[in-house]
Amino acid sequence: MNILFCSVGRRCELLKDFRKTLGDQVRLVVTDNSLYAPALEFADVSYQVPLIKDVAYIPTILEICKKEHIDAVTTLIDPEIAILAENREAFEALGITVLAPYQETARLCFDKYEMAKFLTAKGIPTIRTYGSFAEFRTAYDEGKIQFPVFVKPRTGSGSVGARRVDTCEMLEEVTASDPSLVIQELMTGEDMDADVYVDTISHEPVAIFSKKKISTTIGGANKTISFKDENLFAFVKEALKAFQFNGPLDMDLFYQDGKYYLSEINPRFGGAYLHAYGAGVDFPAFIYHNVKEKTANDDCIGMYDEGIVMMMYDSVVIRKFDDIQAGMATV
């Protein structure tokens, strides 16, 4: 299986997991805009490509797909998910499976305000979310929400800019200086997430790995512990019926007052998927079955142990610059 990871960045361990599962049954082709993306060093073939907003970007990716006989493509950054979804037909015309959601789902997942409105309309428990200070102030005056609150960028990723705000005066000032922020109720319950694989043939979730967050940094959880709850599995499966996903996704959740709340969905490999893999929930194998064997995966929801802990740490790649340049393929 020739798989293309776009915008591969620092996701070295993810590539190692694919190699561990599939060995020489997989050929890892990766792209990034930067020569200094460390994960480039763990692939079979690496390409430096234009920025994702460049008009030459998708034509370049399609040329790489043709040259490398790509079977499946995915991205590891949020802003590119919608781009793959919008160009699904061009990839599928080449026989390539796009491991990304369909267009409307991709749009909702990238926009936290639109997602919150959508979830509310569908009756899926979510966090109270407001798109402007004026909208928040109306709800506040009606007693629907209280301080403190939480603000974060409407279309941001990696928790950049997310913070607690304690007073109305501070909130008005913060949102005036950055109108892109959404305002949310501050959740005080357990912070957790779930790695989910939606089968590309059956279009059903076949794996759900749930974990509680022990510690987080900018970019997500870095220490987590696995747990299982049939109520959570049922909540996730019911919520997913409202969307069109295709492949891996990461779902952020809260558990508060005996109830699960869906915060947001990142329809790609989550940064902490490494925990799921280490506990035996093998997305690379699922992808191989779907893409190369053309078979649906069996339901294995909850088939992992509780109490498995992930403790993430940093490592480094040391290379001569000339060797980095020499190792890059050309389109």
Length of the chain: 331
Q: Given this model, what pLDDT does residue 216 score? A: 87
Name the pLDDT band for 219 (thresholds 50, 70, 90).
low
Q: Given this model, what pLDDT does residue 327 score? A: 94
Query: Once rounded to an integer, what is the mean pLDDT over residues 89-112?
Result: 98
Q: Given this model, what pLDDT does residue 162 score? A: 87
How far apart (Å, rounded) are the C-alpha atoms in residues 174 and 183?
10
Query: Once rounded to an integer, what is the mean pLDDT over residues 206-226?
Result: 92
> Tell me, what DSSP letter sits at residue 316?
-
How far apart (Å, rounded) are the C-alpha atoms in residues 100 and 80?
10
Name the pLDDT band for 220 (thresholds 50, 70, 90).
confident
What percent of the chain lies above the pLDDT cut of 70? 98
Whether residue 252 is predicted with pLDDT greater than 70 in this model: the reply is yes
Rg (CA), the chain: 20
298, 130 Cβ separation under 8 angstroms:
no
Mean pLDDT taken over the chain: 96
> Tell me, what DSSP letter sits at residue 108?
H
158, 120 Cβ separation under 8 angstroms:
no
Q: What is the pLDDT of residues 308-317, one digit of tens each?
A: 999 999 999 9
Q: Given this model, what pLDDT does residue 103 score? A: 98
310, 270 Cβ separation under 8 angstroms:
no
Q: Given this model, what pLDDT does residue 25 score? A: 98
Q: Given this model, what pLDDT does residue 187 score? A: 96
Q: What is the pLDDT of residues 12-63, one digit of tens each?
A: 999 999 999 999 999 999 999 999 999 999 999 999 999 999 999 999 999 9
Q: What is the pLDDT of residues 131-182, one digit of tens each?
A: 999 999 999 999 999 999 999 999 976 666 789 999 999 999 999 999 999 9
Whether residue 270 is predicted with pLDDT greater than 70 in this model: the reply is yes
Q: Given this model, what pLDDT does residue 249 score? A: 98
Its pTM stands at: 0.96
How far apart (Å, rounded) are the C-alpha atoms in residues 320 and 307?
42
33, 46 Cβ separation under 8 angstroms:
no
Q: Given this model, what pLDDT does residue 217 score? A: 82
